[in-house]
Amino acid sequence: MKFDKKLYGGDFEYYASSKPKLKFEDFFKLKNNHMFFSSGSNALSFVFRNEKLKNKKILIPNYCCWSTILPIIKENNCNIDFYKVNDDFSLEIPKKAYADAIIIINFFGINDYNKIGLEIRKKNPDICIILDNVQALFELQNNGANGKWANWQIYSFRKFLASPGGGLALNIKKSFKLRKAVSTNYDNIWKKASNLKKSFLEGEIKIKEESYLKAFRNSSNLLRNNIKTNISKLSFEQINRQELNIISYRRKKNYKFLYKNLKKFSEKRFNLFELKNKKTPLFFPIILKNSYREKCLNELKLKNLFCAVHWPLINFKFKIKLPKFNDNIISIPIDQRYGEQDMLKILKILKETL
């Protein structure tokens, strides 16, 4: 007998959708100012090489994806300074700071950074602004028109779409030739992992959770260590197979549903954030008012709600002031796999647990 097992969050199970109306590059109206990469990290690495940022001074936020940025900074022997991220994800860029480049992260894809971006550009016409839109895939709309003030925009696909990897760097002042997608060892492992997860969710009792988790970890480690910088064949296939307008619609709808229904409840327990107009979110972030994140995460996991932490501090040796919310933030899944019934369940779990 089969039964559906409902889990919320975690890696995407494999689903090859029917042919979408528009392919990836047509949907986003790209104009050859972009180059595909194996991952967001590889796209960022390319930008550092292209801009010759070796030994240069870089300004980075005190809240970021350390496992991506620090190896690139180290490899390029950059001198870094940090700027502060406030607990509403707004930025405090020091007026007098000098740097050759600055990294702006579009946190969770929920805000608009145009005002601050334009201010930085006005004050520092020569600074290289790198807009990290890895958490805001849909900012790629109209050839990245929203981030015109940035020299570079970088993106990653596996956060938003069922794909083993894939990244993109965009610079509206340059044009690039399309590079061929390449065969990789992680494509098949990812496909196996996501198929296993799909069967597990469909109630295939022979499949153990650990088997697909292990395969996803393997695929992700191989992607991270891979030396080919081109996008993989399966990633390219996958990004061209998904109805991007439906993905954006569902994410927005789920986010707004949770926001509306948690607003009153959350007051004493956690902070939440309104989705800015026309933005497509990655997750629904909340900042707990008390420091009991590990306990909460474990309790949510027991109820099959898997929330991510952005971002864990692995081997972190800097003596900098991290934002207070760094230890209290949780990312709740609101992605395209879920509809209103799922959001009702998630709402119930959150209300019972937090």
Least distance in Å: CB of 333 to ligand PLP?
15
Strand 284-288 and strand 270-271: the pairing is antiparallel
Binding residue (CB under 6 A) for ligand PLP from 35, 59, 105, 110: 105
**Among 134, 150, 193, 349, interactor with ligand PLP by CB under 6 A:** 134
Q: Is 226 in the site for ligand PLP (CB under 6 A)?
A: no
Q: Which amino acid is at 244?
A: L
Strands 79-85 and 91-92 come out as antiparallel
| Size of residue set near ligand PLP by CB under 6 A | 11
Q: Which of 40/144 has CB closer to ligand PLP? A: 40
Specify whether the CB–CB gap between 61 and 82 falls below 8 A: yes
Which residues from 18-57 bind ligand PLP, rule CB under 6 A? 39-41
Long-range contacts of 66-75 (CB under 8 A, 24+ apart): 66/311, 66/312, 66/313, 66/314, 66/316, 67/311, 67/312, 67/314, 68/40, 68/41, 68/44, 69/44, 69/103, 71/41, 72/41, 72/44, 72/45, 72/48, 75/45, 75/48
Question: Does 135 contact ligand PLP by CB under 6 A?
Answer: yes
Residue 197 CB coordination number (10 Å):
23
Cβ distance to ligand PLP smaller for residue 134 or 287: 134
**Cα separation, 269 vs 79, whole angstroms:** 39
Q: Which 59-78 positions form the footprint of ligand PLP (CB under 6 A)?
A: 65, 68
Which residue is at the shortest CB distance from ligand PLP?
40
Closest distance to ligand PLP from the beta carbon of 45 (Å): 9
Residue whose CB is less far from ligand PLP, 9 or 40? 40
- Residue 70 Cα to chain centre, angstroms: 17
Least distance between ligand PLP and beta carbon 63 (Å): 10
Query: CA 39 to CA 226: how far, in whole Å?
Result: 10
| Contact between 42 and 166 (Cβ < 8 Å) | no
Stretch that binds ligand PLP, among 17-25, 128-136, 143-151, 294-302 (CB under 6 A): 128-136
**331 lies in the site for ligand PLP, by CB under 6 A:** no
| Footprint of ligand PLP on 154-193 (CB under 6 A) | 156, 167
Q: Which residues bind ligand PLP (CB under 6 A)?
A: 39-41, 65, 68, 105, 132, 134-135, 156, 167
